[in-house]
């Protein structure tokens, strides 16, 4: 396995960054997680645009134009040689000194890792997941816009720890006003009376690529959707609930804070959206190779 580090491919065990890198020291940087399905890099243009938009907000200069970074991602995926992959693209401020001053980091750093990922055991995708609401609130949008996908995930990690302490794998995070924001690494959706709802970015939700894909699928299916401000009441009284994310994909939720959601089983609209997503993720993106069902290159 090779990792792209600042223009060169090196064995994973030899990949290095400086201990003075401000991404390591302060979380000063941005990243994207990207999926590859049967040789198709899912929604690569959208991921690249979000990465460059995030960097722009941080006044972080990515040292490659989009087309060259795209080519580097494609080459990294091609070298890995697997039909299904998870790609992590990291742009850090680069090496500086022990102070915060970003101007003392003359050269940003780019790292691209292509590997596999499985965030949740497979049975949760068929049986559903349990969530709890945690005390840790989502970082306010006036402090850090959630559309910036930065390297600093301490807010989410603290919420994840609370969930684990409660004996579950994932948490519902509220914003400072008590409205639903998102889970620790995934967007949140719920269904009520045939309509699909998800918290808006103004409430503290990341504008997820998978989230947007699900909204596109719902629109194609003629399912009414709404983004807005919602409370735990809306979750407790929902007919269905699920999470979305690049790593997680679509995971049904059947229990929240001890309340059974709907029938306590993954719902029919969730299943339809998952089926639509499986088709979308293999046809929307940058196709670099074609694989047979057994994973061999066609």
Beta bridge partners of 187: 244
Is residue 232 a contact partner of residue 133, using CB atoms and an 8 Å limit? Answer: yes
Helix 44-57 and helix 66-80, axial crossing angle in degrees, nearest 10:
130
List the 2-5 sheet strands across, edge first: 8-11, 2-5, 109-115, 85-92, 29-37, 40-42, 285-287
Report how far residue 229's alpha carbon sits from residue 172's, in angstroms, rounded to the nearest whole number: 14
Q: What is the CA radius of gyration of the chain?
A: 19
The active-site residue, picked from 47, 149, 211, 274, is 149
Mode of pairing for the β-strands spanning 109-115 and 170-174: unpaired
Q: Is 160 part of the annotated catalytic residue set?
A: no
- Distances in whole angstroms, Cα of residue 98 to Cα of each of 25, 62, 95, 101, 104: 8, 22, 9, 9, 10
Please give the positions annotated as active site.
149
């Amino acid at each position: 396995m090779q990792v792209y580090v600042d223009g060169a491919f090196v064995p994973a065990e030899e990949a290095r960054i400086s201990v003075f890198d401000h991404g390591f020291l302060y979380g000063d940087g941005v990243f994207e997680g990207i999926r590859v399905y049967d040789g198709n890099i899912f929604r690569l243009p959208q991921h690249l645009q979000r990465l460059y938009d995030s960097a722009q907000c941080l006044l972080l200069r990515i040292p490659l134009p989009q087309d060259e970074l795209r080519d580097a991602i494609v080459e990294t995926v091609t070298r890995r040689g697997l039909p299904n992959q998870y790609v992590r693209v990291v742009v850090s401020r680069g090496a500086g000194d022990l102070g915060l001053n970003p101007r003392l980091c003359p050269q940003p750093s780019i790292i691209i890792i292509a590997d596999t990922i499985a965030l949740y055991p497979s049975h949760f995708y068929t049986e559903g997941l349990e969530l709890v609401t945690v005390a840790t609130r989502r970082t306010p949008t006036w402090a850090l816009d959630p559309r910036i996908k930065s390297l600093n995930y301490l807010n989410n990690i603290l919420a994840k720890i609370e969930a684990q302490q409660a004996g579950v794998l994932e948490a519902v995070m509220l914003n400072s006003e008590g409205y639903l924001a998102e889970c620790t690494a995934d967007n949140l959706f719920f269904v009520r009376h045939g309509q699909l709802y998800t918290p808006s970015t103004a409430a503290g939700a990341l504008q997820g690529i998978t989230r947007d894909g699900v909204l596109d699928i719902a629109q194609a299916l003629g399912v009414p959707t709404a983004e807005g401000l919602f409370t735990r009441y809306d979750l407790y009284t929902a007919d269905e609930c699920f999470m979305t994310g690049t790593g997680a994909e679509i995971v049904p939720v059947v229990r929240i804070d001890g309340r059974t959601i709907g029938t306590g089983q993954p719902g029919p609209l969730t299943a339809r959206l998952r089926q639509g997503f499986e088709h979308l993720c293999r046809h929307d993106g940058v196709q670099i190779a074609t694989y047979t069902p057994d994973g061999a290159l066609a």
